[in-house]
């Protein structure tokens, strides 16, 4: 059953009956693969998501938690319609993005942040922000799993990010919304829906956009998206943007066979995904650019210096753990050492001086007596170098035992080399363990542990 007010709100659509029937049907399952960890798309990726180079539909929904490849960051379980933002960004930039700074303002749990991480590559930087601390922690773990090493996870209000005036080439606002497009996947969203909730969401979305606007540079691209159907949160907010801010249109050509409804509000291109017309959930997106103008990039005065760049001797025990040490800089924050791609190290330091950065780059671990005790994030980093550890391939059940933090049996223990082992499954990293005689010390953080399955 749907809320009566919702049924009335969509009744004006010419195919409202088909929409409601689709929302009562079975949800589509899709994933997005990680090209930094997979040399080629898996065989099961034959049924491709047309608007994303790495997206694929699955015939049925497996228990993803029991797939070690997911824990290794080989893929992300992401709804197909929302993967459209890759097509939007690549189209807006005429192909590859180059060296860009992307601000993903409402980033948890990390589907779009990891997508932007793939697009930005080693030359770019993604700032993935989440205002709720617990959700920011989940976001950071998903960034670690993805393992590209070009993301800074922050936990700040939008106005804090706007203090970095004209800093970002892309502002992505996947706004908290009333969730009508998720009625098929999430039945609880139906219970939470109300006209008052729609109005509250629309007002909150405008507040977020207004507070964050100054962070985008002139000529930069804004992608605004929601997972809802109503005009109040979608077209009306785009019209409000066009009326109150200096925006320019961005030309995007979408193949008609995709089934995406293309529109325009105030000259700004809009895109609607209806679950009875596309293989995906309900989704709305709009893309525009900030009008050109002569401005000065502004970085707030640092309130602190939590990121201390390391000199060459200090970096030596770290450099041997990454495949391309010449492409990276190393720094210390608290007790941990981190690696950063050279083009963005200063950017991350500038962010850390004024924002609550809870994770950035790739955490390498802690140095004791000139030797590194590697962090779990380093095991998942795509640029991990072979070297001071053994590699032990596990069966699926052994990998799941590790991810549950269970003791290894004698047979598994006997295959481990003495000392540090990188555990893999199907050639993909699972994590570290250290064998000491007849026991092994699992180095898996509790937040990555499988519980109750």
Between CA 430 and CA 70 the distance in angstroms is 10
DSSP-assigned states of every residue in 363-385: EEEEEETTEEEE-HHHHH-TTBP
Cα 428 to Cα 423: distance, rounded to the nearest angstrom: 8
Q: Strand ranges (DSSP E) for 240-356?
A: 247-249, 261-265, 268-273, 283-290, 308-309, 328-333, 336-341
Residue 121 CA, distance from chain mean position: 13
Which of 201, 227, 337, 363 is labelled catalytic?
Answer: 227
CA distances from 186 to 13, 48, 419 (A): 22, 24, 46
Give kind and range of the element (H or E) at residue 121: none
Closest CA to 360 of 122, 65, 150, 91: 150
Which residues are within 8 A (CB) of 231 and not within 5 positions of it... i.e. 6 or more apart?
Answer: none
Q: Give the integer Cα–Cα distance in Å for 194 and 215.
A: 32
213 vs 430: CA distance, rounded Å: 40
**Sequence-ordered alpha helix ranges (H) in 11-132:** 16-23, 68-71, 84-92, 111-120
Q: Which of 384, 383, 345, 382 is nearest to 361 (CA)?
A: 345
- The tokens describing 442, both together, are 């699992």
Count of positions (residues) in the chain? 453
Instruction: For residues 245 and 210, give the distance between their C-alpha atoms in angstroms, rounded to a whole number.
Output: 9
- Label residue 232 exposed, middle or buried (CB < 10 Å: 0-12, 13-18, 19+): middle
Residues whose CB falls within 8 Å of the CB of residue 273, separated by 6 or more in sequence, listed in order: 81, 84, 181, 260, 261, 280, 281, 282, 283, 284
Reduce the DSSP state of residue 314 to 3 states and report it. Answer: helix
Is 227 annotated as catalytic? Answer: yes
Cα separation of 130 and 325, whole Å? 31
Peptide bond into 109 cis (omega under 30): yes
Angle of the 111-120 helix axis to the 84-92 helix axis, nearest 10: 30
Active site amino acids: 227
């Amino acid at each position: 059953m749907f809320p009566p007010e919702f049924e009335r709100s969509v009744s004006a659509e010419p195919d409202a009956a088909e929409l409601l029937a689709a929302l009562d049907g079975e949800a589509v399952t899709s994933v997005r693969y990680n090209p930094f960890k997979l040399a080629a798309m898996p065989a099961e990726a034959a049924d491709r998501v047309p608007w994303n180079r790495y997206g694929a539909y699955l015939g049925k929904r497996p228990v993803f938690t029991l797939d070690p490849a997911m824990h290794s960051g080989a893929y992300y379980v992401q709804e197909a319609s929302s993967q459209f933002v890759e097509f939007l960004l690549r189209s807006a930039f005429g192909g590859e993005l180059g060296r860009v700074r992307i601000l993903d303002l409402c980033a948890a749990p990390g589907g779009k942040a990891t997508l932007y991480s793939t697009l930005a590559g080693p030359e770019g930087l993604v700032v993935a922000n989440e205002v709720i601390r617990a959700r920011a922690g989940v976001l950071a773990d998903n960034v670690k799993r993805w393992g590209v090493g070009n993301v800074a996870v922050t936990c700040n209000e939008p106005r804090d990010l706007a203090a970095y005036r004209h800093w970002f080439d892309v502002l992505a606002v996947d706004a908290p919304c009333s969730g009508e497009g998720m009625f098929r996947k999430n039945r609880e969203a139906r219970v939470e829906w109300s006209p008052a909730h729609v109005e509250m969401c629309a007002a909150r979305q405008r507040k977020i956009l207004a507070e964050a606007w100054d962070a985008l540079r002139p000529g930069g691209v804004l992608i605004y998206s929601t997972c809802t159907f109503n005009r109040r949160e979608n077209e009306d907010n785009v019209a409000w943007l066009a009326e109150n801010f200096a925006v320019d249109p961005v030309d995007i050509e979408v193949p008609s066979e995709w089934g995406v409804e293309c529109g325009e509000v105030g000259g700004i291109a809009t895109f609607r995904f209806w679950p009875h017309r596309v293989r995906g959930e309900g989704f709305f997106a709009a893309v525009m650019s900030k009008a050109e103008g002569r401005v000065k990039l502004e970085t707030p005065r640092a309130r602190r210096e939590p990121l201390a760049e390391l000199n060459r001797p200090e970096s030596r025990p770290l450099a041997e753990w990454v495949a391309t040490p010449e492409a990276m800089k190393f720094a210390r924050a608290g007790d941990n050492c981190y690696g950063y791609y050279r083009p963005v190290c200063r950017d991350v330091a500038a962010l850390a001086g004024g924002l609550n950065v809870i994770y950035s780059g790739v955490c390498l671990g802690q140095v004791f007596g000139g030797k590194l005790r590697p962090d779990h994030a380093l095991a998942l980093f795509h640029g991990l170098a072979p070297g001071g550890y053994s590699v032990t391939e596990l069966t699926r059940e052994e990998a799941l035992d590790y991810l549950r933090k269970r003791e290894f049996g004698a047979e598994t223990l006997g295959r481990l080399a003495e000392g540090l082992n990188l555990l893999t499954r199907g050639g993909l990293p699972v994590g570290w363990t250290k064998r000491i005689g007849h026991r092994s010390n699992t180095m898996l953080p509790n937040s990555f542990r499988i519980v109750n399955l």
